[in-house]
Amino acid sequence: MTAGPGTAFTAALERDLLIAMRRRADVLTTFFFFMIVVSLFPLGVGPEPETLREIAPGVVWVSALLAAMLSLARMFSGDFADGALEQMVLAPQPLTLLVLAKVLAHWLTTGLPLVLLAPLLGLQFGLPGDALATLAVSLLIGTPALSLVGAVGAALTLGVRGGGALASLLVLPLYMPVLIFGAGAVVATVEGTGAGGHLSLLGAMLMLALVFAPIASAAALRISLE
Cα–chain center distance at 64:
8
- Within the chain, what is the greatest distance between any pair of CA atoms? 65
Arithmetic mean of pLDDT, 97-117:
91
Cβ(37)–Cβ(63) under 8 Å?
A: yes
Q: Where do the structural domains in the chain lie, given as residue ranges?
A: 5-225
* C-alpha triplet 148, 151, 152: angle, nearest 5°: 100
Q: What is the pLDDT of residues 76-98, one digit of tens each?
A: 877 777 777 788 878 778 889 98
pTM score, two decimals? 0.89
Q: What is the DSSP letter of 3?
A: P
Checking phi first, is residue 98 left (phi over 0); if not, alpha (psi -120 to 50) or beta?
A: alpha
Q: What is the pLDDT of residues 24-53, one digit of tens each?
A: 887 888 888 999 988 888 887 777 878 888
